[in-house]
Structure 1
Amino acid sequence: MKYDDVIEEISGYVTEDRTFSADTLDIALLILKDSMGCMIKSLDNPQCQKMLGPVEAGGFREDGMPIPGISGPLGLLDASWNIGMLIRWLDYNDCFLAEEWGHPSDNLGGILAASYHVSSRGTKVTVMDVLQSMVKAHEIQGVLSLSNSLNRAGYDHVFFVKIATSAVVSEIFGGDAEKVKSTVSNAFTDGAPLRIYRHAPNVTTRKSWAAGDATMRGVRLALLTDKLSEGYPNVLSEPDWGFNENMMGGNAITLPRKLDDYVVNNILFKADFPAEFHGQTAAEAAMALHREYRDKLGLIREIRVATHESAVRIIAGKVELKNPSDRDHSLEYIIAVSLLNGGLKTEYYADSYHDSHPEIDHLMSRMIVKEDEQYSKDYLDPAKRAVSNAVRLIFEDGQESEKVEVEYPIGHRFRRNEVIPIIDRKFENNLGSHFGEDKIRQIKNIFEDTDSLMKMDICDFMHEFQ
């Protein structure tokens, strides 16, 4: 049956028999490694700990999936929720920015859980298979993000996680093209969540677990559609009741480029410090200024910040920062703590840290944030994908610092050689928050033998993190 073109393209891409290049798979493996480290690091977060485990109390499954830091094995849906939540919680995993933005490794919650589920029941799924699914999920979410702005319609980017997870997990379960089309059409029929929990005065930790929820919903829809394959061929284009008319104000959802491996190869890694990605280069600029001017911060009259339009709209100008979820999505807060410390850690967003450092609010009160139109153009330029910020300090005596401009964050593809050793260090540090030296060495050795790793059963791989 013929579906809307976007759904046809997604289904054809997911179910086609193909192998990605060695270079693409190398980046995918680096993303998997980074995501697993982010998952382990989140186990230490007190708020995250409250959300761990089965959604229903006592809902462990004897034949389920073991998840690091959780006392018993979990069923498929609970496993996808917990993995997705842990990877995403600290806002420390990879990112892709365009008209919409998001974190494509969020899909690993559903991909890893579904792959484990299938492999543990007799159909072997290897780490290589997971990487193949991962590249496809990244591509679907990212290419949808290139030309379709959910945020301008008031909806949250995790909707594209649900779409991508539902498509690839349907295929992992053995779905053919028709089954995948039915599943994706049901995901569109579900609609998208509001962004309300990402913006003052309603910022909560839902922004940290929304991706886990989205990837779990994608798995659930794949399961339901597998039982009775019913779909909605014109779910996007139907003039009265369709998605385009009712969710996007009449704007058609599009795929502006052929689905391939563009997104993985243009992924943005969060390297040494956790900050919302629109503010990553601002943090780098502020850290550079700290080295020169850390003893003169009390004499600053004005801090001039030039940034791109998306940063102005999403993370700048917040009147009140009530909690860590507010602070790690504040451009001004990110700059202030980076100026103050010459670095940035998750702990700097905590209530206790903020309350004991009044100089942070003082620095923030000195900031003037303005859009640089060229930065905004470079942000959307597919050949650049810049995430530019610049910071200059003006002192009370009239002296000025140099303008420190950073166009490409350290996790950008133009700086890929810089990021690999940093991701390795970040991975080891993240593991160190939960494991001892012997266990860390054991896990690191797995990643060093790439040939054996690619052939490893995904069940064995996940057990290594227990």
Structure 2
Amino acid sequence: MKQHTVRTYKSAEPLARADQLAWKIAEVASDPVAIEADVVEMIGNRIIDNAAVAAASVARRPVASARAQAEAHPFQPGATVFGLNKNERISPEWAAWANGVAVRELDFHDTFLAADYSHPGDNIPPILAVAQHCGLSGADLVRGLATGYEIQVDLVKGICLHEHKIDHIAHLGPSAAAGIGTLLNLPAETIYQAVQQALHVTTTTRQSRKGEISSWKAYAPAFAGKMAIEAVDRVLRGEGAPSPAWEGEDGFIAYLLGGPKAQYIVPLPEKGEPKRAILDTYTKEHSAEYQSQALIDLARRMGPKIGDLSKVESIVIHTSHHTHYVIGTGANDPQKMDPKASRETLDHSIMYIFAVALEDGGWHHAASYAPERANRANTIALWHKISTLEDPEWTRRYHSHDPKEKAFGGRVVVTLKGGSIISDELAVADAHPLGARPFKRPDYIKKFRTLSDGVIAPSEQDRFIATVERLTSLKAGELTDLTFTVDAKQLGSRTTYGIFDWQHDAPAKRAATR
């Protein structure tokens, strides 16, 4: 890997195109390196992982709304949408939109955390949609996805967005555009322009993850994927983008990140170096913010030691800066302690999550967030006894570059009435590559079958898994098999209408659903 210094340049200051981050990304994307076997295996795992989460979320309102928007944009040859018949084709950017929401809705797929945060599996919906639409092969798809993961992970390693309250999809737009560029075997010049446009239009604030968190948290990465497809389409027609996007005097770093004096170091593969960044990422066993994963596992372990939870006086979670300030009491969000809060908000409350995991001895993607679950009196009482504290050592380990030292968990101190103390700690989740039970292909398949149970027919589950198993041998036109179809009743009834499916009686229909 080569370390690239990125900073702001005044307009009068020379900055050759070859020295711009967007060009360096484009060079990586256009480098036709072979994809190594363990990377291919992991790409297949993450395709399964995304489908698993999409199956569990297919009938949820945000997913149904995005799917309805997509269905208003039929196109041939087009791309597939989770849940629909594979012969029902949608314009690729809208298919990516619908599938992107389905994949993110439950906060249950892969993650990578470093200088910033990310869910690199968000690259899969837009890159796959373009591959399906353009009639490409499994080998083409693997190349594109390897690039998408590589670029997003490398940007996340080098550039912190959250410090400046910029949402992490600002790394996803460029990575998806780069992945599409690799997929289509585009020249560096075209990818360079597309990456810059994608950055320009996917820079948003982190208010989407603060306060009253709405379903936009699931839509945000879908938006980035859709914008990436549109960026590539536009530059293929000969149009350019704001340049230099990162380094410009009025650009991203100068006014939205650290300012004109800031410098960032972004690692990127050398020419001819394999793209292996997907192997640095990790998926979730539990449907919750990644920093919750190890703490849910720790709650499962500590519950029997504590016994009667009514005897708990207080619980303090000593953890990293991120966990404390984003999903802990350091956020100073009263909504994180509110039993009437949205699922999206509870997903970002480690106090709620730890309380429920202690009581239930585990976590369920739906039942653990149900309003009746959040409103139990004993749960509320326990929940409000939990607080977080930033521990410098856990923050240091969170930012460590040593995979064996890097940690996302914390130390939990439980004080019982009477003064006795029970404490324990866990650095990484059980499913983490260095955890007690690292996820392998059988675990991804189990997750898919568990979340698909009662949603996708067993024969359709089998067909989908068999398709992934021969990923690199899929021929042109066969990528449309990388989806699943469900019975129409599993999609739920249409309850929302908008501009795209406007009808003369639409106002009456909307009124009837209120």
| TM-score after normalising by structure 1 | 0.91
- Equivalent-residue separation in structure 2 for 1:392 and 1:458 (angstroms): 56
Structure 1 residue 325: Cα displacement: 0.7
Asked if 2 retains the 8 angstrom alpha-carbon contact of 1:302 and 1:394, the reply is: yes
Pick aligned residue for 1:59 from 73, 84, 87: 73
Give 2:371's aligned residue. 351
Deviates more, 1:421-430 or 1:251-260: 251-260
Structure 1 residue 408: Cα displacement: 1.4
Identity of aligned residues (%): 18
- Equivalent-residue separation in structure 1 for 2:33 and 2:267 (angstroms): 21
- Equivalent-residue separation in structure 1 for 2:68 and 2:424 (angstroms): 45
Give the alignment of 1:181-196 within 5 angstroms: 181-190=192-201, 192-196=203-207
Runs of 4+ in structure 1 deviating by more than 4 angstroms, as ranges, are none
Give the alignment of 1:301-380 within 5 angstroms: 301-317=313-329, 318-320=333-335, 321=338, 322-347=341-366, 348-355=368-375, 357-380=376-399
Q: Secondary structure at the match of 1:53?
A: helix
**Aligned CA distance change for structure 1 residues 53 and 460 (closer, same or farther; 3 Å):** farther
Asked if 2 retains the 8 angstrom alpha-carbon contact of 1:144 and 1:255, the reply is: yes
Q: Secondary structure at the match of 1:64?
A: strand
Q: Which has the higher helix share?
A: 1
- Equivalent-residue separation in structure 2 for 1:146 and 1:31 (angstroms): 20
Pick aligned residue for 1:79 from 82, 85, 95: 95
Pick aligned residue for 1:266 from 270, 273, 280: 280
1:460 paired to 2:478: yes
Structure 1 residue 303: Cα displacement: 0.8
1:418 paired to 2:435: no
Asked if 2 retains the 8 angstrom alpha-carbon contact of 1:302 and 1:367, the reply is: yes
Give the alignment of 1:6-17 within 5 angstroms: 6-17=21-32
CA deviation digits over 1:136-194, x for unaligned, max 9? 11111111111211111111001111111112213333421111111112223335111
1:285 paired to 2:298: yes
CA deviation digits over 1:197-221, x for unaligned, max 9? 2101x31110011111111101111
Give 2:460's aligned residue. 439
1:153 paired to 2:177: no
Asked if 1 retains the 8 angstrom alpha-carbon contact of 2:131 and 2:183, the reply is: yes
Give 1:219's aligned residue. 229
Deviates more, 1:125-134 or 1:273-282: 125-134
Asked if 2 retains the 8 angstrom alpha-carbon contact of 1:305 and 1:369, the reply is: yes
1:176 paired to 2:196: no
Give 1:29's aligned residue. 44
- Equivalent-residue separation in structure 1 for 2:484 and 2:202 (angstroms): 35
Pick aligned residue for 2:247 from 212, 228, 237: 237
CA deviation digits over 1:315-347, x for unaligned, max 9? 111312421110011111110110010011122
- Equivalent-residue separation in structure 2 for 1:157 and 1:246 (angstroms): 16
Structure 1 residue 400: Cα displacement: 2.1
Deviates more, 1:228-237 or 1:156-165: 228-237
What letter is aligned with 2:215?
T
What letter is aligned with 1:411?
A
1:275 paired to 2:270: no
Any unmatched runs of 5+ in structure 2?
1-15, 486-514
Give 1:246's aligned residue. 255
| TM-score after normalising by structure 2 | 0.83
**Aligned CA distance change for structure 1 residues 174 and 257 (closer, same or farther; 3 Å):** closer
**Aligned CA distance change for structure 1 residues 433 and 99 (closer, same or farther; 3 Å):** farther
Any unmatched runs of 5+ in structure 1?
120-124
